[in-house]
Amino acid sequence: MIFSVLHILFTAAVTVVLVLAVGLWRFPRAEWLDAVAAGVLSGAAVAVWRLSANMGPLNDDGLPGFSANDWAAPVLVFVLLSVYADLRVPADAGRYRQVRALATLCALAVNVITI
């Protein structure tokens, strides 16, 4: 099964909104930029992965309800947010790790539910 570009962009947009909400919840007000960055980077990771790997075998569910792409897109979210944290060290590393973990879980949930 192949998904439309609009479907994939919708999935990425939902990821942005959820991760932004998580970031705004976990980060202090002064660190709102990190929340926005986490949301945008998470959405970009999902969009780039799903668009580049949008092929039948990777979209077919190997486990009921879970495809290879469902598992891989959150991994790219985790990696991209880790690279961001290495390049721009967060003020509160503990909270950033929490946001990164929750962003990964959000990306998994969104990919399983919306695609």
What type of residue is 106?
A: C
What type of residue is 6?
A: L
pLDDT at 4: 95
CA distance 39 to 26: 13
The 10s digit of each residue's pLDDT in 38-58 is: 999 999 999 999 999 999 888
Q: What angle do CA 11, 62, 56 make, to 5 degrees?
A: 60
Contact at 8 Å (CB) between 34 and 23?
Answer: yes
The 10s digit of each residue's pLDDT in 1-22 is: 799 999 999 999 999 999 999 9
CA atoms within 13 A on the CB side of 36: 5
The 10s digit of each residue's pLDDT in 60-104 is: 888 888 999 999 999 999 999 999 999 999 889 999 999 999 999
